[in-house]
Structure 1
Amino acid sequence: MVSKNWIKRKELSPSEIDDFSKKHNFDKFLSELLLERDLTDDAKIEDFLHADIGALQDPFGLHDMDKALEIIDQAVESNSKIAIYGDYDADGVTSTSIMKLTLKKLGIDPIFYIPDRFKDGYGPNLSVYKFLAEQNIDLLITVDNGVSGKDEIKYLKDQGIKVIVTDHHDLPKELPEADAIVHPTIPDSEYVCPYLSGAGVAFKIADALLGDDALEFIDLAAIGTVADSVPLLGENRVIVTEGLKRMSENNHVGLSELIKKCKLKPNNMSEEDIGFKIAPRINALGRLANASSAVELLTTGDTGFAKEIVDETEDINKERQGIVADVYDAAQAQVEAQKDNGVLVLSGIDWHQGILGIVASRVVEQTHKPTLVLQMVAGSGIYKGSGRSPEGFNLFEALDSYRDLFVAFGGHAQACGFSVAEDKLSELTEKLQQEPDKQDFDYQGSIKEIFDLDLNVSDLDFDLIKSISNLAPFGMGNPKPVIKLKNVNLTQIQSIGKDGTHLKTKVTSNNNQVDAIGFGMYQKGKEISTNICDVYGELGINEWAGRKNLQLMLDDFEVSSEAKKMTQLQSIYLDYRDKRIAPSILDKFDSVVFFNETYLEAVKRHDSSAKLVMYDQSCDGENILIYDRPHNIDLFKEFIKQNKTLHTALYFHTDLNSRYLTPDMSKMKVLLKYLYAHQNIAENDMQTVADYLKIQKSDVDFYLKVFFELDFVKIVNGFVEKANASKQRELIESPTYLKRLKRNDVEKILIESDFGSLLSWMSDYDCHS
């Protein structure tokens, strides 16, 4: 797996988070997440956290929307023949479906055409346009494409056919001469949400034509928006949020049947359900078959027909998954053979053209290298391929340098499609190896990754899930927060999945644990040198047999430098704190170390053969046992700084029955007030005072000694009296009080903490590393 360099999205001070939390009445986790995303303005926070239907924008803000509506109204009035030209991916399919359903509500039954990936290719196709013209259409409406079809659209215009382009893709240097171009980024008329998907643009047209009735299609717009990986910001958040809510309304029987097939709950859908369940099935139709059936599925009112298409879709999706797995596995030999190359060019004779992009994406994730995956078109001498690249490498720029080697080529920075003659492939492969250096792209370096929250396992609960979910829906531009868990243990590591490559484990720390899943991570988990790691992942809920449990979806885990140090300390230090030690056990050590002479003298009586030494004597190179606990934590720090032992057992014995408690200020005030009010209390009557005030006698004795040292009280002839203190005194001026605080540190750090936390604290001072 590629190494990752994890950095925090934004470093914030505790006071910044606390101030923001108090100002807005948010919990600290939500406050930190909002601050990291620079959401500090009240209005922006409100819009982001409450993306409701009221935030939908005026559709007439889109370029040429008024022209498009006028043309459509005229076509409806004259009962014109309208064709919709879409695309074969989930965004194109939902765009086509929205437009078809909108026109049907207006009384028009349009024809539609979804290009065949293998026969027609992507985008406007002149031969298809000629075919549509032969159908005597009066108006063509493109959805999710068309802005690059200058020549093709000119052909239709020359035939007297009107054209409305609705698209969201990057604009070419020269726009087509369509009757209307509805697009969110036309210069000088950029829409308030410039990153609408194709389905989002189609929905805005429905909104302009139908008003509130268009909300019936917002669930389809949500699918296209999530599937096309446009930023989930601004109006896109409204479309997805509202679309998910309305999936339970059963407005589209085909979608309802698809949701059932995916075993999802329509009244509790998430953007992840779309991204990982719904969209891949719709996309599978366009990859292996013709995506027209997906439009039929989303627009039919016949439940029986919908079930047939859903069953077909499920079969095709399973076939797609199998083909992807087979081609990916087959490509691994070439990946290994090209391990020294900066750009991978992988080819096969019988690889399926429809899944080349998926395989390229997986190889990029695996290797962090730009990757081209090609398939030989039988009998043509031509390879068709798809390319993908990681962030930091502009694939379009790299391939554009060798445009003369391609039969056809197009794309953008991170993805492309192309055709290349067989006899040009080796030359192209060789030339591409120069491109990483030209772009100063280090394909062997680590990937920069971002995490959001640095937490403990004990922080993970359903309240945290609720805080994080305030930022949903998640996607491009608003990624799901990644949590870092530092110096945790991976336990119960096991392989899962059909091929056993996935990791199931428990992440544990301080007697807290959370289940975790890491896709493709079992081998890495098996090979780590220690189970103490820094872990990165997204927190979610796993529901099984009616029970909900927290689950961490792992993005990465790594043995940090501190974890390596802790692993070393684990091999040196032994936890004897809860053991009962017989005198004979002491003989197994070279030396037994004491911090208190009282315990040393007591152990001498057992006639041990081990050396009995005080903490200020050297124990370098020895196997030792630390018998008792110091009264001052600094003494222990100094000992582990100076003594490079072979092994050290930590016993920390004491005869005290109860741990040291932090002094209770309220009880101290009650006692002092009582003493000032009663000037005839004998020093020997403190048990009676303790019983009356319901304060432990040992605490009363402690408080009284502190009062005496601070000149709050004095003892005169055996009676406690108020002293005439000449100045304001602080509690830490009392040696007794200060000593108690130091003992509290000892108790908290050396005794009460679990062994992992103790070693983590010791790692800052220990001399072994």
Structure 2
Amino acid sequence: MLQSKMKWKFTYSNENSDVMHNGLTPLTQQLLSKRNITSPEAIEQFLHPSIDQLHDPFLMDGMKKAIDRVKQAIADQESILVFGDYDADGVSSTTLMIEALREAGADCDFYIPNRFTEGYGPNEGAFQFAKDSGFSVIITVDTGIAAMHEAEVAKQLGLDLIITDHHEVQEVLPNAYAIIHPKTSTDYPFQELAGVGVAFKFAQALLGRFPKELLDLAVIGTIADLVPLHGENRVLAAIGLQAISRSKRPGILAFRDICSIEGDMNEETIGFTIGPRLNAVGRLQDATPAVELLLSETFEEASEIAKFIDQLNQERQKIVAQIAKEAEEMLAERGPDQENVIIVAKEGWNPGVLGIVASKLVRTFDRPAIVLGIDSETGKAKGSARSIDAFDLFANCMEVRHRFVHFGGHAQAAGMTLEVDQIDELRQDLIKLAEEKLEPEDYQQVLEVETTVPLDEISLQQIDEVNQLRPFGMGNPKPLFHIQHAPKEIRLIGSKKNHLKFNFQKNDAKVDGIAFGMGDVYAQLAPADTLDLVGELGINEWNGRKNLQIMIKDLCVKDWQLFDLRGSRHVEKSIDIPANETFKAVSFQGINEAPHQLPVHRPEELKGEHLDGLIFLDLPETMEDLKNLLGEVSVSKLYVCYRVEESTFLKTWPTRDHFKWFYGMLVKRGSFNLKVDTEKLAKRKGWDRSMVDFISQVFFELDFVKIENGLVTINSQPSKKDLQESVLYQQREEQLRIEQTLYYSTYKELKDWFNQHLKKQSKIVKEEVFHGL
């Protein structure tokens, strides 16, 4: 058995949908039903998003007032400052707003605060700079809804502050000239827009038309900011991906070049390629180059900036890897017992990447993680936190709010500042809360499985149909499917041999399985194991050929496993013993050395044992000895490591005719000298020397002959006995059966035999199964 690393949550219902739509397969209908999309109208809108599904921007409170003020500023030639944020949503929002203002004829510029010197959001110094620089109107994008003090500062400075934002609304709203926010607009039908989505709505209202030329910007922030991809967000993401795939914007073309992006872009291109690079700028320095890239008017200019941004991203990756390594070393020094909540802190850690490091620690250890950078001058620690599904980070941290100087966030992510001397106390507080509220299974990552799919039902058509649900993201996760099948082939791939590739076949269906970073599991998989696996279905296209594949997220083996190492001289290398599993070695004939220096036990010492792994070092003396052992132990994995130096099975087994001929030869000759005549007889008859010796010894045991100094003579008065009465004959027959069954059998034959005699398992692979939607 091989346990899954994650908890599988089967969320589907076996009930079929009553709704048929355009010939969709039952699987696709099931996926739509789970997303509460069941009516023909809803299905049509979901599968074919269009601008007709977008709402009137003037339904947002404050929109008309804000647009009127901007148009007045344009007419009066007033300068407008766009105040943005330093993440991908903020950068794309800033760019989009600048382009819309410029097209409307505005005199405008942008300002993005420095994460390290100014912190997050509007600040008094920036507003004073705007006033001194001659700006009279400030439009925030992707920020500002919590800027109560700064709004008052703007009024005192004579600046008209227009806030466009999408973050959580506080109990008190800033006293701004106008606030444009979906969640403050009771008449606006959709409240989950990203910051760039709100900016896009503003641009549409300002220009008096649908600004399709800005869709390539709108899609970046919408996907990168992880807002739910339904409603208007789905429309902006879907048509935005089409737009960015065709975009001639120099900044986008430069990204294509530097990142080797070919063909149409999808949500993964934004989420894993473009978004992280735009985010990297603000994590390591001022985010201005990211906006300048998207605003570039020539490819040459954009290309230079893109190269610089790509270098920053590489530097960011190295910094993250180094901090994560240092954090893991800290945890290792604390001892083998994993803390329920991880808190690590060190001076010199870059605060811009600590959220990414926290995410890596959560994925590695399945624990909530807080990563803090210490400022020795102020005596404070500042950082970020990420959590697991079962631990509400915001709620639990609020229970110990007194430990923080500043704290904010939500259930799965947060930022905080605290005094250095409060770090240990915070660690103990949160560990105690986790011990009180969490169960052991809560520390496993959860995979929500859409449905189980038979291998031969996977087809290019089915995958194409599932892909109609794209773009995937928050609120519309990429479907995970469960498959149960034995692979035809398993091999290690990659330069470091740290990935697995499977080949599955059933009838005419062929599916490749790829499991990145799971090379360590290779030694724990036995030939012909039926695998249960969860992953994403997709199509791998290479040289014009399309192959079905599943990107494996997790796998397990529910049945007991047999590892066939018969005759191997490299047993030590072939056996992997997980740290949390109990392995023992057994010898029937007194072998005293075992792989990995395991203690060697006699069969009778293992009675009643419950083991993860049992290693057989040699063959039993009788089949009954092995059957008795298998009936007394409960075990998940069997390793057969025995070798046969002198095989009984490979030697010629004498038949009754052989015995009859030899006896007749003795009667004629009167005697036979084993020392002199054996070689001659074996050569003449084509027998093995050992067969002559064996026949002679059996006759001697049955008292048919006498043997003195190697001379065999007939006993004049032999008793009537059958060959089966000879203990030597029985032993040879038993040894032949043992070798034939346990050593020279095929893998399937051997496993079938063990299956018949192995004690029923007491261990099972546990699954969390939730029926219904």
Q: Say if 1:584 and 1:333 are closer, same or farther in 2 by CA, change over 3 A.
A: closer
- Report whether the alignment pairs 1:519 with 2:545: no
543-552 or 298-307, which deviates more: 543-552
**Cα deviation digits, residues 673-709 of structure 1 (max 9, x gap):** xxxxxxxxxxxxxxxxxxxxxxxxxxxxxxxxxxxxx
Tell me which of 269, 273, 280 is aligned to 2:269.
273
Partner of 1:538: 536
Equivalents in 1 of 2:756, 2:50: separation in Å?
50
Q: What is the CA-CA distance between 1:447 and the residue it aligns to?
A: 3.5
**Cα deviation digits, residues 397-439 of structure 1 (max 9, x gap):** 2222333332322222211112222222222222221221454
Partner of 2:214: 217
**Cα deviation digits, residues 603-634 of structure 1 (max 9, x gap):** xxxxxx999xxxxxxxxx99999xxxxxxxxx
**Cα deviation digits, residues 225-272 of structure 1 (max 9, x gap):** 10000000011111011111112443421112112222113x511111
**Cα deviation digits, residues 123-161 of structure 1 (max 9, x gap):** 222222222222231111010010000111111012221
Equivalents in 1 of 2:561, 2:95: separation in Å?
54
Q: What is the CA-CA distance between 1:331 and the residue it aligns to?
A: 1.4
Q: Which amino acid aligns with 1:299?
A: L
Q: Which amino acid aligns with 1:58?
A: D
Equivalents in 1 of 2:82, 2:202: separation in Å?
13
- Report whether the alignment pairs 1:322 with 2:318: yes
410-419 or 481-490, which deviates more: 481-490
Partner of 1:30: 28
Equivalents in 2 of 1:501, 1:423: separation in Å?
45
Q: What is the CA-CA distance between 1:324 and the residue it aligns to?
A: 1.3
Q: Which amino acid aligns with 1:90?
A: A
Q: Say if 1:330 and 1:529 are closer, same or farther in 2 by CA, change over 3 A.
A: farther
Given the two structures, how large is their TM-score scaled by the length of structure 2?
0.71
Q: Which amino acid aligns with 2:8?
A: W
Tell me which of 320, 328, 340 is aligned to 2:338.
340
**Cα deviation digits, residues 446-500 of structure 1 (max 9, x gap):** 3432111312333333212201111001000000111111143384331526xx3
Equivalents in 1 of 2:198, 2:723: separation in Å?
83
Equivalents in 1 of 2:548, 2:272: separation in Å?
19
- Report whether the alignment pairs 1:304 with 2:306: no
Partner of 2:92: 94
Q: Within 5 Å, which residues of 2 pair with 1:555-570?
A: 555-561=553-559
Tell me which of 205, 208, 221 is aligned to 2:205.
208
- Give the match's secondary structure for 1:185: helix
Q: Say if 1:255 and 1:27 are closer, same or farther in 2 by CA, change over 3 A.
A: same
Partner of 1:9: 11
- Give the match's secondary structure for 1:433: helix
Partner of 1:236: 233
Q: Say if 1:335 and 1:533 are closer, same or farther in 2 by CA, change over 3 A.
A: farther
Q: Which amino acid aligns with 1:215?
A: K
Equivalents in 1 of 2:413, 2:4: separation in Å?
20
Q: Say if 1:90 and 1:218 are closer, same or farther in 2 by CA, change over 3 A.
A: same
- Give the match's secondary structure for 1:345: strand
- Give the match's secondary structure for 2:253: helix
**Cα deviation digits, residues 52-98 of structure 1 (max 9, x gap):** 22222211122221121111111111111111111000000000011
Report if the CA contact (8 A) 1:624-1:647 is conserved. Answer: no
Equivalents in 2 of 1:353, 1:130: separation in Å?
26
Partner of 1:687: none
Q: Which amino acid aligns with 1:245?
A: Q
Q: Say if 1:570 and 1:428 are closer, same or farther in 2 by CA, change over 3 A.
A: closer
- Give the match's secondary structure for 2:135: coil
Partner of 1:682: none
396-405 or 156-165, which deviates more: 396-405
- Give the match's secondary structure for 1:330: helix
Q: What is the CA-CA distance between 1:290 and the residue it aligns to?
A: 1.5
Partner of 2:69: 71
Report if the CA contact (8 A) 2:488-2:505 is conserved. Answer: no
Tell me which of 153, 157, 161 is aligned to 2:159.
161
Q: What is the CA-CA distance between 1:544 and the residue it aligns to?
A: 3.9
Q: Which amino acid aligns with 1:277?
A: T
- Give the match's secondary structure for 1:427: helix
Q: What is the CA-CA distance between 1:285 and the residue it aligns to?
A: 0.7
Q: What is the CA-CA distance between 1:562 and the residue it aligns to?
A: 7.7
CA RMSD of aligned residues (A): 3.6
Partner of 1:395: 393
Structure 1: 5+ residue stretches without partners: 573-582, 589-608, 612-620, 626-644, 651-753
Partner of 1:510: 506
Partner of 2:143: 145
Partner of 1:55: 53
Given the two structures, how large is their TM-score scaled by the length of structure 1?
0.71
Report if the CA contact (8 A) 2:490-2:503 is conserved. Answer: no
Q: What is the CA-CA distance between 1:347 and the residue it aligns to?
A: 1.8
**Cα deviation digits, residues 145-197 of structure 1 (max 9, x gap):** 100001111110122211111000111110001111111111634x3221100
**Cα deviation digits, residues 96-130 of structure 1 (max 9, x gap):** 01100000001113121111111111122222222
- Give the match's secondary structure for 1:392: coil
Q: What is the CA-CA distance between 1:36 and the residue it aligns to?
A: 2.4
- Report whether the alignment pairs 1:291 with 2:302: no
Q: Within 5 Å, which residues of 2 pair with 1:605-616?
A: none
- Report whether the alignment pairs 1:408 with 2:406: yes
Partner of 2:223: 226
- Give the match's secondary structure for 1:557: strand
**Cα deviation digits, residues 730-766 of structure 1 (max 9, x gap):** xxxxxxxxxxxxxxxxxxxxxxxx989xx99x99999
Equivalents in 2 of 1:216, 1:547: separation in Å?
35
- Report whether the alignment pairs 1:496 with 2:494: yes
Q: What is the CA-CA distance between 1:569 and the residue it aligns to?
A: 12
225-234 or 129-138, which deviates more: 129-138
- Give the match's secondary structure for 1:120: coil
Which fold has the larger relative contact order, with Cα–Cα distance below 8 Å and residues 6 or more apart in sequence?
Answer: 2
Report if the CA contact (8 A) 1:59-1:204 is conserved. Answer: yes
Q: Say if 1:194 and 1:586 are closer, same or farther in 2 by CA, change over 3 A.
A: farther
**Cα deviation digits, residues 363-405 of structure 1 (max 9, x gap):** 1112221101112235333222111111121212222233333
Equivalents in 2 of 1:610, 1:247: separation in Å?
87
Q: Percent identity?
A: 35
Equivalents in 2 of 1:610, 1:33: separation in Å?
70
Equivalents in 1 of 2:166, 2:354: separation in Å?
24
Partner of 1:699: none
Report if the CA contact (8 A) 1:373-1:385 is conserved. Answer: yes
Report if the CA contact (8 A) 1:29-1:467 is conserved. Answer: no
Report if the CA contact (8 A) 2:499-2:517 is conserved. Answer: yes
- Give the match's secondary structure for 2:182: coil
- Give the match's secondary structure for 2:487: strand
Report if the CA contact (8 A) 2:453-2:482 is conserved. Answer: yes
Equivalents in 1 of 2:94, 2:497: separation in Å?
39
Q: What is the CA-CA distance between 1:362 and the residue it aligns to?
A: 1.1
Report if the CA contact (8 A) 1:342-1:443 is conserved. Answer: no
Partner of 1:253: 250
Partner of 2:591: none
Structure 2: 5+ residue stretches without partners: 565-612, 614-634, 640-648, 655-721, 725-733, 762-773
Equivalents in 2 of 1:247, 1:144: separation in Å?
21
Partner of 2:579: none
Tell me which of 352, 374, 386 is aligned to 1:376.
374
Equivalents in 2 of 1:174, 1:463: separation in Å?
52
Partner of 2:101: 103
Partner of 1:361: 359
Tell me which of 187, 191, 199 is aligned to 1:194.
191
Q: Say if 1:7 and 1:412 are closer, same or farther in 2 by CA, change over 3 A.
A: closer
94-103 or 410-419, which deviates more: 410-419
Q: Say if 1:180 and 1:251 are closer, same or farther in 2 by CA, change over 3 A.
A: farther
Equivalents in 2 of 1:388, 1:490: separation in Å?
40
Q: Say if 1:98 and 1:504 are closer, same or farther in 2 by CA, change over 3 A.
A: same
Q: Say if 1:492 and 1:166 are closer, same or farther in 2 by CA, change over 3 A.
A: same
